[in-house]
Structure 1
Amino acid sequence: MPKPFRNTRIQFRFPRAASFLAALAALVTVLIAPPAAALAGNGAKPPDESRPVYSYEQAVRESVWVDTGLDGDGDGRTDRVAVDVIRPREAAEQGIRVPVIMDASPYYACCGRGNESQKKTYDAQGRPLQFPLYYDNYFVPRGYAVALVDLTGTSRSDGCTDVGGRSDVLSAKAVVDWLGGRARGYASARGRTAVRAGWSTGAVGMIGKSYDGTIANAVAATGVPGLRTVVPISAISSWYDYYFAQGAALFGSGPDGLADRVESAAARGRCQAVQRALREGAPRSGDWTPLWEERDYVKDAGRVRASVLAVHGMQDLNVRTQHFGQWWDALAREGVERKVWLSQAGHVDPFDLRREEWVRTLHRWFDHYLLGYDNGVEREPMADVERAPGQWATDAVWPPRGTSATTVRPAAGPVPGVGTLGLLPAPAGAASVFTDDPALDESDWAAHATESTPAKASFLTGPLARDLRLSGSSRVRLTVTPSTGSAHLTAVLVDLGPAVIRNYAGAGEGIRTLSGRTCWGAGTSADTGCFRVTEPDTAQVAHTVFSRGWADLGHHAGLEEGEVLTPGRPYTITLALGATDHVVPAGHRLALIVAGTDAGLVQPASTRPRLTLDLAGTAAELPVTGGWPAFLRATRGGPGGGPSGPGGGSGGLRQPYDAGPPVTAPGLRPPAVTALP
């Protein structure tokens, strides 16, 4: 495992002497103007990357209020959103236009950004001093502007927060339009002095974690001109799926609670109608409503024209990997140029996981898509995947070539409630019975996967003869008969075997923050560009839950409207499990566990049902690299271990059943879900 940086200062400082300006002019001529693409056309060898040739200390720092064209708070005036901009002064003086890195967020005043919860700060005249995160420190000296946008209803902006709705999205889009000369900006919140972004090339890259990355996804889905790339980190792709899982309510308040947390005090007073609309439009029934339709960006993936560099923690139980998986798959269908980083952490920024490599990658990504450098970043491996804490591998495409949906099926074993998992269907009439226990969670079930317990049904392969890799999203079709009028269901995939993993259930969700700092770019006393270093926070476990899905059985027919179940009647529902990339090593076992309420993640149903699982009507579709032959080889010991066709092998069902010893070492208990993405 590579050692973390400790007290290393990677920092650029610029002299104030006139000699610097002379050298700067020469460097600008060589490195910045004309653009790299034009240099190649003139026969000159272009530079390999943008260089820190501009003064950060002398950069222009200004605030602009952009007219959104909306009147969300109903005060008779169109809303303006505050945009704090920092850009190279020397470029403006020489008439050189620069591209823009933009982070639109509701958190700059209420909650802060990054691992250290940085907020914007201003001097006595209201001029911006601190720009949270490192984008300004690192990229402004390299010929970029950075624009940090206060979403409507937050900090210094007008309007009302509508949590991913029209106001949020169009306010951020309006800033992209202003940067491209298509919208109006003003020097103050109420004044009439117009401000134009004549210094901008109109090329914009949006970036952000969580809510911020969600807005980047949403603006990309409008197809706005000028948005060249987006970098969504742990981002939502459909707000319904943040608050519900196929009809089952997840813990936390609704969108009105989040709006109340991020809105400015002034907005809370004027935005009661919007708050009411959020409450009424998002009933806790789990039904799909027009409010959720407006906040579903996946359906608009066909409008995306920007490239996408997506980042997600595979153990993120805040913004779960369902969001990444469905967005990625939709972008793939549309042929969008894209790249992905998948970590073993929870809701963590890659800057705090793999700092040096992340900044290098982001630098080259923005250089290519915003400055036109032909640096080959788009031809490099599509995926970086963390295999163990701090240990990464790459794939040319993701999911990797040869990955295909493989249908595996549960069957009964000699121990009640503990069956097998293979390729052949169970005989008609085979069943497994369990009773929902809202006090138990996935860790409890996995710890007793090999034992008969009343609250779950588990299905296991034997110890694998070879590594088995799953890459992508899974689905589990369940045929279930409830004993009561309501039921919630959970399905999880578990790697049964010892491992050292990131402690995603810990306070840092897989990282530990240390006292040392590293500096990224230039800085001032008000904005140093120096950040506390981190190291992996690890845990020794006996099992790893690596993919999950939940549903309300009352929504088996669709999300539009749930129904009261008829006790004794069988229902079939398909649970979507979160995207993952996990290798179950040889010697470990793969388990599928089906249970009821997942405590701490899903709110329990109104009743506590006894559930009869029809094994013949149940199957899991897994994204196996190598497809069913790879599954067969892993579970049978080799290509000669069974018949050659997908229907001929048993995947271990004909072997003597051996559940192995009980799994008694700990796993990780999921952290409580918060109401803040």
Structure 2
Amino acid sequence: MIISPKSISTLIIALSISIISCAQNTTEKTTPIFKDGEAQIVEAFSNTNKWIRHDLWVETEFDTDGDGKPDRMHVAVTRPEQTETEDLKLPIIYVTSPYFAGVAADLPGVMWDVEIELGESAKERVHPEVTRRGHRPIISNSHLRKWVPRGYIVVHSSSPGTGLSDGAPTIGGENESLAPKAVIDWLCGRAKGYTEREGSEEIKAYWSTGKVGMTGTSYNGTLPLAAATTGVEGLEAIIPIAPNTSYYHYYRSNGLVRSPGGYLGEDIDVLYDFVHSGKEENRPYNNETIRDTEMKNGMDRETGDYNEFWEGRDYLNQMDNMKAALLMSHGFNDWNVMPVHSYRIYKAAKEKGLPTQIYYHQNGHGGPPPTSMMNKWFTKYLHGIDNGVENAENKSYIVREYDDPQEPTAYKDYPNPEASDVSLNLTYGGTSIGGLTLNKVPVAGEMLSDDASISGSELAQATNSKNRLLYVTPKLKEDLHISGVPQVTITLASSKPAANLSVWLVSLPWQEGKDVKITDNIITRGWADPKNHKSLSKEENLVIGKDYTITFDLQPDDQIIKAGQQIGLMIFSSDKEFTLHPKPGTELMIHLGSTQLKLPIVGGDDAYTKATD
């Protein structure tokens, strides 16, 4: 074919227009923006009316509801319109939970009866039913306004046996790790997603870069860790907030049956009932298989021993495959999910050589790191921006007692590397006020009598009490910085074959009034079963009058005790807020010469001596 000069000219003009148009289209494409190592809010991503929202079901590799088919997890996606109109691919912030579809009502009798003798079986409790709430395609609106405008896709899913997800809740069982793994596999193109729960029409995550980060608080913070322990490819970073990392540590303490703070009588089967919002027709099978068989046979409220059931629900035992970078967050005064949960995982991840940081505040349950910290973490590991967060000299960020939670103080690590244990001995007089001293003390014994009707705060404020022993330091002349895990060694004899043992570390004088802060009175706490003095997994009845020595950790802490205060070690038996409540009268003889508190203090013995001399 011969093309005329006029046709060639016309073709050149058309090509030029096409090239200009393509260049303009390329220029106009929306992309994330970064400044100072953080993803910035992009106006084009911020119009909520233009966000694309849809749901689907991801097929897993397990069947826990007994219907002979792989369970499918309900997933909801929220993404900027540019992922559709401009072929834009973005990384994912993923949040999964058993709570999204509602929980059971807190009816009378749903908790286990704690007014029983140690070792006895309680009467059967009430089993509530959950009425599911929520409508497709929205599972949750959490985290959307924080992350979608910054150039992320936010994905939510309901845990097995909750909401519109198949399966059964197992409260820490294997399926609760494999369910988010399946969703991440789908986001990375390795698993199948379907437009309907029972349908066969597949749906792809064509808008995903295959880079996923997870976060959430409490149970929702546990599940990012559960997913990470599978080693799933594509899960680059997790930010657990107040996560429950071991159901044994949540419902037991050193062999003792102990409730989480605020939920006296709760146990793992109570939580199962609380979240079981899945298909009504599947619930009888799930109840019989999980709650009434696996949990009933494994949870063991009679002894409180550590066994295979609890071992399988401890994520510290499953960290071999973990590869995700970890930014951990927790409150030192969280008496629900206690700070040991975060510390043990942070320590293990650090020992594995994973990128790690930890953020601690001084308040109670919940509390995310500052947005800037989270932003830098996700920017580095999901967008791949080299902001140096993994090379930061300081690994620990702690909110000091009177500071804004958004303004933590940076330290090289937690515990503070400059802290060392100071060994404090007990001097006679604990029924009123005994002493804590660096010096060795004569062999002596003091008696306390159990009475669970008296609260720990009442005991700490009592001038004299036969129901507790209290030993205090001299009044501090200078501030004293505690950082780490206090430990007690107690030698005791009991008047009965079983006894609770509770320890509080307190700051005195006790403060009262509306301006009292959460850090003002209780420094930290711990509980143990003397019957487990040799082993967590096998208790033995106490021989009445025989001496037993038990050593155990209190909860981790980092607190500055102000000058003018005294640090007090309070030893008592049943804790009204946390333990079972046997009848009053069990007597414990505490042998002072072989009882000791190890207190991690920044500056060690020198700092302690300077503050107390």
TM-score range for the pair, normalised by the shorter chain length: 0.7 to 0.9
CA RMSD of aligned residues (A): 2.7
Does the 8 A contact of 1:91 with 1:143 survive in 2? no
Aligned match of 2:413: 398
Aligned to 1:78: 70
Q: Which residue of 1 aligns with 2:371?
A: 359
**1:141/1:541 CA distance change after superposition, 3 Å:** closer
- Structure 1: gaps of 5 or more residues: 1-21, 37-44, 113-118, 351-356, 504-537, 637-677
Measure how far apart 1:262 and its partner are. 0.9
Find the counterpart in structure 1 of residue 16 from structure 2. Answer: none
1: CA distance between counterparts of 2:430 and 2:301? 39
Deviation at 1:78, TM superposition (A): 0.8
SS in 2 for 1:102: strand
8 Å CA contact retained: 1:314, 1:321 = yes
Query: What is the rounded CA distance, in whole Å, between the counterparts of 1:89 and 1:541 in structure 2?
Result: 45
Structure 2 equivalent of residue 290 of structure 1: 308
Distance 1:314 1:267, change over 3 A: farther
In 1, distance between residues paired with 2:103 and 2:455? Answer: 30
Amino acid at match of 1:161: P
Cα distance in 2, alignment partners of residues 60 and 120 from structure 1: 22
1:89 lines up with 2:102 in the alignment: no
Q: CA deviation at 1:25?
A: 6.5
Q: Higher relative contact order by CA 8 Å / sep ≥ 6: 1 or 2?
A: 1
1:92–1:629 CA distance, 2 compared to 1 (3 A) = farther
Q: In the alignment, residue 548 of structure 2 is paired with which amino acid?
A: Y
Identify the residue that residue 255 of structure 1 maps to in structure 2: 268
Query: TM-score, length-normalised on structure 1?
Result: 0.76
What residue ranges of structure 2 are gaps of 5+ in the alignment? 1-22, 105-131, 259-263
Are residues 1:435 and 2:449 paired? yes
Structure of higher CA gyration radius: 2
What is the identity, as a one-letter code, of the residue corresponding to 1:275?
R
Q: Mean Cα displacement is larger for which, 478-487 or 625-634?
A: 625-634
The match for 1:673 is: none
Distance 2:327 2:574 in 1: 34
Distance, in Å, in 1 between the alignment partners of 2:78 and 2:517 is 45
User: What is the match of residue 519 of structure 1?
Assistant: none
- TM-aligned CA distance change 1:577 to 1:541, over 3 Å: closer
- Tell me the secondary structure at the aligned position of residue 388 of structure 1: coil
Does residue 631 (structure 1) correspond to residue 598 (structure 2)? The answer is: no
In the alignment, which residue of structure 2 is the partner of 1:424? 439
Q: Is 2:466 aligned against 1:458?
A: no
Q: Give the deviation of 1:422 after TM superposition.
A: 2.3
For 1:565, the equivalent position in structure 2 comes to 542
What do residues 330-383 of structure 1 show as CA deviations (whole Å, max 9, x unaligned)?
Answer: 223223322223222222334xxxxxx823332232212211223344427431
1:131 corresponds to = 140
Q: Distance in 2 between matches of 1:602 and 1:279?
A: 20
SS in 1 for 2:311: helix
The one of 560, 566, 571 aligned to 1:583:
560
Indicate the percent of aligned positions where both proteins have the same amino acid.
Answer: 32
CA shift for structure 1 position 325 = 2.5
Change in Cα spacing, 1:267 to 1:582, as seen in structure 2 (3 Å) is: farther
Is 1:204 aligned with 2:217?
no
CA-to-aligned-CA distance 1:199-227 (integer Å, 9 cap, x gap) = 21111111111111111122222222211
Cα gap change, 1:83 to 1:500, in 2 (>3 Å): farther
Selected match of 2:500 from 469, 485, 488: 488
Q: Deviations over 1:626-651 (max 9, x none)?
A: 12221222122xxxxxxxxxxxxxxx
Per the alignment, in what secondary structure is the counterpart of residue 57 of structure 1? helix
Equivalent residue letter for 1:190: E
Take 1:99 and 1:500, find their aligned partners in 2: how far apart are those partners? 49
Residue of structure 2 in register with 1:274 after alignment: 290
What is the SS of the residue equivalent to 2:284? Answer: helix
TM-score (norm 2): 0.84
C-alpha separation in 2, matches of 1:415 and 1:197: 65
> Distance between the aligned counterparts of 2:99 and 2:467, measured in 1?
41
On the 8 A contact 1:325/1:472 being kept in 2, the answer is no
TM-fit CA distance, 1:414: 5.4
Corresponding residue pairs, total = 549
Q: Distance in 2 between matches of 1:567 and 1:601?
A: 25
Report if the CA contact (8 A) 2:416-2:483 is conserved.
Answer: no
Would the aligned equivalents of 2:501 and 2:529 in 1 still touch at CA under 8 Å? yes
Query: Partners in 1 of 2:158 and 2:569 — Cα distance?
Result: 44
Rounded to whole Å, the distance in 2 between the matches of 1:481 and 1:600 is 24
Q: Distance in 1 between matches of 2:512 and 2:233?
A: 46
Moved more, 330-339 or 148-157: 330-339
1:459-474 correspondence to structure 2 within 5 Å: 459-474=471-486
- What displacement does 1:319 show? 0.9
Alignment of 1:613-652 (within 5 A): 613-636=590-613
2:424 to 403, 409, 420: 409
More strand by share: 1
Paired position in structure 1 for 2:384: 372
User: What SS class does the counterpart of residue 94 from structure 2 fall into?
Assistant: strand
Query: Which residue in the other structure is 2:345 paired with?
Result: 327
Q: Distance in 2 between matches of 1:384 and 1:554?
A: 36
Asked whether the 8 Å contact 1:498–1:542 carries over to 2, the reply is no
2:57 paired with 1:65:
yes
Residue of 138, 144, 150 corresponding to 1:142? 150
Counterpart pick for 2:191 among 177, 183, 195:
183
Query: 1:75 Cα shift?
Result: 1.0
Q: Which residue of 2 aligns with 1:447?
A: 461
Indicate if the aligned counterparts of 1:485 and 1:607 stay in contact, CA closer than 8 A.
Answer: no
Q: Which residue of 2 aligns with 1:157?
A: 165
Deviation per CA, 1:135-171, whole angstroms, max 9, x where unpaired? 1122112221111110000000000000011111111
The 1:181–1:160 alpha-carbon spacing in structure 2 relative to 1, beyond 3 Å, is same
TM superposition shift of 1:616: 1.8
Q: Indicate conservation of the 8 Å contact 2:358/2:397, yes or no.
A: yes
Out of 459-468 and 604-613, give the one that drifted further: 604-613
Q: Measure the CA separation in 2 of the matches of 1:541 and 1:171.
A: 37
Q: Distance in 1 between matches of 2:350 and 2:607?
A: 24
- Are the aligned partners of 1:486 and 1:606 in contact in 2 as well (CA < 8 Å)? no
| Aligned mates of 2:398, 2:283 — CA distance in 1 | 42
- Following superposition, the deviation at residue 121 of structure 1 comes to 4.5
Identify the residue that residue 388 of structure 1 maps to in structure 2: 402
Inter-partner Cα distance in structure 1 for 2:412 and 2:601: 15
Of 313-322 and 323-332, more deviation after overlay is shown by 323-332
Offset at 1:465?
1.7
In the TM superposition, residue 612 of structure 1 has moved relative to its aligned partner by 1.0
CA distance in 2, matches of 1:589, 1:476: 18
**TM-superposed deviation, 1:90:** 0.8
Q: Provide the residue aligned with 2:113 in structure 1.
A: none
The reply on whether 1:232 has 2:209 as its aligned counterpart is: no
Q: Secondary structure of the equivalent of 2:555?
A: strand
Amino acid at match of 1:51: I
What whole-Å deviation, never above 9, does each CA across 1:290-320 have from its counterpart, x for those lacking one?
Answer: 1111111112334322122222122212111
Distance across 1 between alignment mates of 2:32 and 2:423:
56
Partner-residue secondary structure (3-state), 2:505: strand
Q: Would you say the 8 A contact 2:445–2:591 is kept in 1?
A: yes
Whole-angstrom distance in 1 between the partners of 2:222 and 2:479: 35
Q: Matches of 2:517 and 2:148 in 1, distance apart?
A: 42
Q: Distance in 1 between matches of 2:370 and 2:397?
A: 13
Q: Distance in 1 between matches of 2:300 and 2:78?
A: 42
Query: 2:545 matched to 1:550?
Result: no
Letter of the 2:366 partner, please give it. V
Instruction: Report if aligned partners of 2:360, 2:398 keep a CA contact under 8 Å in 1.
Output: yes
* Other-structure match for 2:367: 349
Aligned equivalent of 1:511 = none
